[in-house]
């Protein structure tokens, strides 16, 4: 099954019901915008399409293997995205950069022209300015119908789960979710 098919089916199922208690070994419950964090099983390798930095460098997700990655897709014109960006900035500041990283990838078509002033306005100092104006990486993940959407990638570079919609990423519950995946032994 493709990422797109899997993701669409999982969103429908997850929105229908959220179990009150997580099974043993499951990550701590975390939700945002009335939607839960959705685990992916079996875990598949995250796509490795390029995205760019504010300096024009090309990065790929494979460069972050060995770290837990919170991969967020957002746009300056998306109100829920705007709301959650300061929390993502604070979360990235709280993480050990050797262990985990937040990658907030803007899909704005005007890329740096829209994002640079946004970062200044909201005083975002702990996130890199990252761009995918063609929206290729989010498309490869089959998530074009959700914005913002955040994927959690485990240390082995596999998609562990995602959360469609905005969330309080600097909350204790979000930190507990990240710590859970930091503590995994690589299964």
Sketch out the chain's domains with CATH numbers: 3-10+41-182 (3.40.30.10)
Query: Rounded to an integer, what distance in angstroms lies between the CA atom of residue 73 and that of residue 137?
Result: 9
Residue 112 is predicted with a pLDDT of: 76
Q: How far apart are CA 20 and CA 165, in angstroms?
A: 20
Distance CA 165, CA 14 (A): 13
Please report how the helices 172-182 and 79-94 are oriented relative to each other, as an axis angle in degrees rounded to 10: 60
Rounded (to 5) percent helix, strand, coil in the chain: 30, 20, 45
Give residues with Cβ within 8 angstroms of 50, minimum separation 6.
58, 59, 60
Compute, in degrees rounded to 10, the torsion defined by CA atoms 155, 158, 163, 169: 10
**Predicted local distance difference test score (pLDDT) of residue 2:** 45
Q: Which two tokens stand for residue 16?
A: 């229908």
Do 36 and 165 contact (CB within 8 A), yes or no? no
Q: Quote the pLDDT of residue 6.
A: 39
In 10 A of CB 178, how many CB atoms?
22
The DSSP string of 146-181 is: -SSEEEEE-TTSBEEEEEES---TTSHHHHHHHHHH
Considering the entire predicted model, what is its pTM? 0.83
The tens place of each residue's pLDDT in the chain, 187 residues long, gives: 444 443 333 333 333 322 323 333 566 777 666 688 899 989 999 999 999 999 999 999 999 999 999 999 999 999 999 999 999 999 999 999 999 999 999 998 887 788 999 999 999 999 999 999 899 999 999 998 889 999 999 999 999 999 999 999 999 999 999 999 998 865 4
> Using CA atoms, how far apart are residues 59 and 49, in angstroms rounded to an integer?
9
**Chain centroid, CA 167 distance in Å:** 11
Report the pLDDT value the prediction gives residue 186, as an integer from 0 to 100.
Answer: 53
State residue 133's pLDDT score: 87
């Amino acid at each position: 099954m493709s990422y797109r098919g899997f993701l669409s089916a999982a969103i429908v199922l997850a929105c229908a019901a959220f179990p009150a208690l997580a099974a043993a070994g499951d990550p701590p419950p975390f939700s945002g915008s009335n939607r839960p964090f959705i685990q992916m099983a079996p875990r598949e390798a995250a796509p490795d399409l390029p995205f760019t930095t504010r300096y024009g460098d090309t990065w790929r997700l494979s460069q972050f293997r060995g770290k837990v990655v919170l991969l967020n897709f957002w746009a300056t014109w998306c109100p829920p995205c705007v709301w959650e960006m300061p929390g993502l900035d604070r979360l990235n500041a709280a993480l050990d950069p050797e262990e985990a990283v937040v990658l907030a990838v803007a899909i704005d078509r005007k890329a740096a022209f829209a994002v640079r002033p946004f970062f200044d306005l909201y005083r975002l100092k702990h996130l890199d300015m990252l761009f995918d104006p063609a929206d290729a990486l989010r498309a490869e993940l089959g998530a074009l119908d959700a914005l913002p959407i955040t994927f959690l990638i485990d240390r082995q570079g596999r998609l562990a789960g995602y959360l469609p919609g905005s969330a309080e990423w600097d909350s204790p519950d979000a930190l507990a979710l990240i710590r859970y995946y930091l503590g995994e032994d690589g299964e």
